[in-house]
Amino acid sequence: MGKPLKIILSTVAAMAFLLIAAVCILPFVFDPNDFKPEIVAAVKDKTGRELVLDGELKLSLFPWASISTGKIELSNAPGFQDRPFATIEEGSVKVRLLPLLSKKIEISRIALKGLVLNLARNKQGIANWSDLTASDDTKTVAPAAAAGKQEEQPIATAAPADFEIGGIAIENARINWDDLQAEKHIEIKDFNLNTDEFAFDEPIGIAATLTATDTESKTAHTIKLSTELSVNEQLDSIALVHSDLQVTTSGETVPGKSLTTALAVADTALNMSRQTAKISGLQLKSGDAALSAELTGANIKDKPSFQGPVSIASFSPAKFMQQLGIVLPVMQDANALGKLAVNFDLAATADSADFKNLVMTLDDSQIKGSVGIKNFAQPAIGFLLDIDTIDVDRYLPPADKSSKPIATPAVLLAVGASALPVETLRNLNAEGSVAVGKLKANGLTMQDIQLNLNAKNGAVTTQQSVQQFYQGAYSGNLSVDAHGDKSTLAVNEKIDHVQIEPLLKDYHGEARISGIVDATTQLQGQGNKTSELKSSLNGQFSFLVKNSVIKGFNLQKIIDSGKALIKGSALPADAKTDQTLFTEMSGTATINNGVIQNNDLVAKSSKLRVDGKGNINLNSEAVDYKIDAKLLNDEVAATEPEQVKAAIAIDIAGTLDKPSYTIDIASLLTDQNKAKIEKLINKIDKKLGPGVGDLLKNFLK
């Protein structure tokens, strides 16, 4: 509404000037109504519009020359609605006569009642006031100048007269704004304006109220303004003191059906010749949120820029969002978003903003650094942030630890990237780094974290490292290419000497395995959804676990139970804790379309050797594994080859969350046991006939 506001003021000024001119001329005639045709013709000649003077022009003389009018109506521009451009029900103005002799104009209060202004813009973007504000380009060059003759010296003009206005009063005005191009219709009603007596370099009290209604959203904005304005004679120095602006928005879609925002500025100074501005004591408040600032401006006409400190006082974002009618998501911590305070130094232009010396307090976290935004049309974001400690889980929905799939930091970033629209990734232009002293995310605690981000033209890369990660370290990087229909992702990660048991306890709430792990991963995938990403994963990884204990899985007991079953002896007693110890476990695996295939699992201990192979489906989390476990003789010299005491094959099925184990009984049969069973089979053949023994032989193969 910037241009409509200008045309409102221009129209009011034009009508006021018309009244002033009439006051200066008509005192010298007896009946001002005799000049109605001339006034109408002059307006028609200058604007092409029709002026209708329905009411009677009333003139009074000494000591004030005053004129009052009845209804005045100015026609609309051609091609627009058939209704007046402007209407005034009643107007009056007074001018002192004697000061005119000394080139001094003293005007009493100008009063306009019942102003109705109909502003419009058509679908081509042309406004119905464009013809009134267009510059005069029809002037021709003087013949003498065109012929190359010497130009005449300009005629000296008289100095401008002193100008004083006793005040302006606009009562019960109404403005209709129809924007056919944007399909917007706004009605402004109850517009009232009152000013004190005007004099250069003197403060003028101004008070205005209005109500603007958006017919589409059915919301109303009630605006109240009060200030003291000072202007110098050159009109290039403007000062505002004690400015207060209050906007109350109401409607069915407004939270609580009403929301008030208040802006107060102690001092505002504009120097147009120097192109400087100074704003002191700025206070902006809405609900429980309050912002204060001290700003200075430069090049305000050519290339405006503003800088200065800005502070947002401590408030509760959760409560503020509720005041705005924003439904808070359920978070793990009901007290999250309870406190926010921000301080920074602002440096802003029409197309950029820099937030320097940023200090932010969010709940128990403190964030320092800087953020910059360039080119608001296509934002390029730069940031450098340092966070002392933050618990991300506080702000996440409640999660069941027992059902969470294991995910590394880079994989979590990949999942987050896949959740973003492709267009968002393509348009993302950001570069910066975040350092975190202590972080908790997905139940995991980390210290000394560094995250670097670079995103431009659809390519996104991150590098992240954790110096203290469960007594070990982590490093990784992520690359995203969003040029195609589906984003492609590449992940590389490395874990060094990480303690498995405390990590799994924090992540899942329990740990079935302990030990120290070293691992590397290289993964590739594509997809715009998490499910697509998991099903398309390809790559490989390797791992080495030392001093491991697997709980709930007693391989020694499984072997002993199988042997007892074959011999027909009693099963071994239950141990207090079922677990298997390995001095070392290692292996490599490939990933193809979300299926992990491992063919070289090796686990060792002083009494056991385990070889295994199988696969895990990441989409369904189904497990299909087969391991061969060998029980070694107790006394074997280090220089002697390993002697197998017993062996067993175990099938592992089910899911990662609930695996199941099946023993291959045939693998437990020693040569001695096999000989006993051969004799038993021969006896069965003699009693039941040939063929039955063959079936048993096939079963035991």
User: Domain tally for the chain?
Assistant: 4
Contact between residue 385 and residue 449 where contact means Cβ atoms under 8 Å apart: no
**Is 684 within a domain?**
no
483 and 618 in a single domain? The answer is: no
pLDDT one-digit tens code per residue, 190-211: 999 999 888 888 899 999 999 9
pLDDT one-digit tens code per residue, 588-642: 998 887 788 999 999 888 777 889 999 988 777 789 989 888 777 655 444 444 5
The residue among 142, 172, 199 that closes a domain is: 199
**Is 377 within a domain?**
yes
Confidence of residue 669 (pLDDT cuts 50, 70, 90): low
**Is 234 within a domain?**
no
Q: What percent of the chain has pLDDT over 70?
A: 73
500 and 638 in a single domain? The answer is: no
pLDDT one-digit tens code per residue, 310-366: 999 999 999 988 887 778 889 999 899 999 999 999 999 999 999 999 999 999 999
**Is 571 within a domain?**
no
Contacts of 445 (CB under 8 A, 6+ apart): 438, 439, 506
**Is 34 within a domain?**
yes
369 and 409 in a single domain? The answer is: no
Could you give the angle at the alpha carbon of 237 between the alpha carbons of 236 and 238, nearest 5°?
A: 120
What is the average pLDDT score of the chain?
79
Domain membership of residue 352 as a residue range: 275-398
445 and 470 in a single domain? The answer is: yes
- Rounded to the nearest 5 percent, the helix, strand and coil shares of the chain are 20, 50, 30
Confidence of residue 668 (pLDDT cuts 50, 70, 90): low
346 and 430 in a single domain? The answer is: no
pLDDT one-digit tens code per residue, 64-97: 667 778 888 889 988 888 889 999 888 877 776 6
**Is 89 within a domain?**
yes
The residue among 398, 413, 434 that closes a domain is: 398
Confidence of residue 215 (pLDDT cuts 50, 70, 90): confident
190 and 305 in a single domain? The answer is: no
Q: End-to-end CA distance of the chain: give it in Å, rounded.
A: 89
409 and 458 in a single domain? The answer is: yes
**What CA dihedral angle connects 191, 194, 199 and 200, to 10 degrees?**
-40
Contact between residue 89 and residue 71 where contact means Cβ atoms under 8 Å apart: yes
pLDDT for residue 425: 74
Residue 144 above 60 pLDDT?
A: no
548 and 640 in a single domain? The answer is: yes
175 and 105 in a single domain? The answer is: yes
583 and 641 in a single domain? The answer is: yes
pLDDT for residue 380: 94
Residue 122 above 60 pLDDT?
A: yes
pLDDT for residue 646: 58
pLDDT one-digit tens code per residue, 428-482: 899 999 999 999 988 889 999 999 999 998 888 999 999 999 999 999 998 888 8
The residue among 143, 176, 199 that closes a domain is: 199
**Is 670 within a domain?**
no
Confidence of residue 46 (pLDDT cuts 50, 70, 90): confident
Structure tokens at 421: 């629209």
**Is 378 within a domain?**
yes
360 and 451 in a single domain? The answer is: no
Kindly report the pTM of this predicted structure: 0.73
3-state helix/strand/coil string of 428-467 = CCEEEEEEEEEEEECCEEEEEEEEEEEEECCEEEEEEEEE
pLDDT one-digit tens code per residue, 220-250: 999 999 999 999 988 889 999 999 999 998 8
Q: What percent of the chain has pLDDT over 90?
A: 33
335 and 383 in a single domain? The answer is: yes
